[in-house]
Every structure is written in C-alpha cells, then in structure tokens.
Amino acid sequence: MATTGTPAEPLSIGDVAERTGLSVHALRFYEREGLLVGPVRRTSGGRRRYTSLDVDWLLICVKLRESGMPLADLRQFAELVRHGPGNEAERLQLLEAHRQRVDAQIQALEECRSVITWKVGVYADHLARGKTDGLWDPTT
C-alpha cells in the first residue's frame, strides 16, 4: 500500500487528491477534523505540501472510511498514532472492534446475496419453462 517517492518529496493537494481518490475538499475536511497524523506543511504562500507518508496514511484512512469506520473512531485512531508508541493496545482494540463490525456486515450481505441468488433462480426457472404462474402477482 506504500506510495512511490521519497517521504521528503513535496506533493500538492491536487497530487494527493489524485493519488488517494479523495477530493481537494475532502482532504481539507480530513485536515480540519484532525484525521491526519502529522501537520500539513505549507509553502510561504500558504499552499499545502504533503509527503508520500501523508499519502500512505490517507490511503489507510480511505479504506477504513470505505469499510464504514465512523469518523469519531478514525479521529481517535489518528490521535493515538500521533501520540506515538505506547498505545498500541488501544489501536488494536479500535481496529478489532471495527473488523468485527465489518465481519458482521459481510455476514449480513452474504445472507442477502443468498436470498437474492435463490430468487434469481426462481425467476430464471419460471422464465425458462415459459410459465410465470406461482410468482407473486399483486394484481390477482
């Protein structure tokens, strides 16, 4: 999941948006919400300058958010990382709780898929036989 380039290579907000799939607006939001683990450096003109390490962290954040991690949990995780070594057990606990939520969602989706697969089979069978009787019909 690591990016290419050196940690010191300065990246613009547009570069980071392109590499992470986040919009410029979302990147500013992440910064305001305290979701980054380091301060975003700025040029003398006030333009944000990121490093490849920032990109690596943001790619993790994107996956955590895509998997449904609440912003509050992501904020807490980022804060723990910012504080450095010594709180790994708390980080693990946060990630384990999130993984359990994701596992529950996956199980629920697999159950949904099973019902949908069964229903697709019912309709495919009826259409293959050229008969739609026996299917739900609210007009009868």
The per-residue pLDDT for 99 is: 98
Nearest to 20 by CA among 63, 68, 49: 63
The per-residue pLDDT for 7 is: 55
Nearest to 40 by CA among 15, 78, 11: 11
The per-residue pLDDT for 88 is: 98
The DSSP letter of residue 138 is T
The per-residue pLDDT for 1 is: 55
Q: How many CB atoms lie within 10 A of CB 80?
A: 19
What is the full per-residue pLDDT of the chain (140 aa) written as tens digits? 555 555 567 999 999 999 999 999 999 999 999 999 999 999 999 999 999 999 999 999 999 999 999 999 999 999 999 999 999 999 999 999 999 999 999 999 999 999 999 999 999 998 999 887 777 777 76
Instruction: Tell how many helices (H) and how many strands (E) occur in the chain.
Output: 5, 2
The per-residue pLDDT for 136 is: 77
Q: For the chain, what's the residue count? A: 140
Cα 100 from Cα 95, distance rounded (Å): 9
The per-residue pLDDT for 44 is: 92
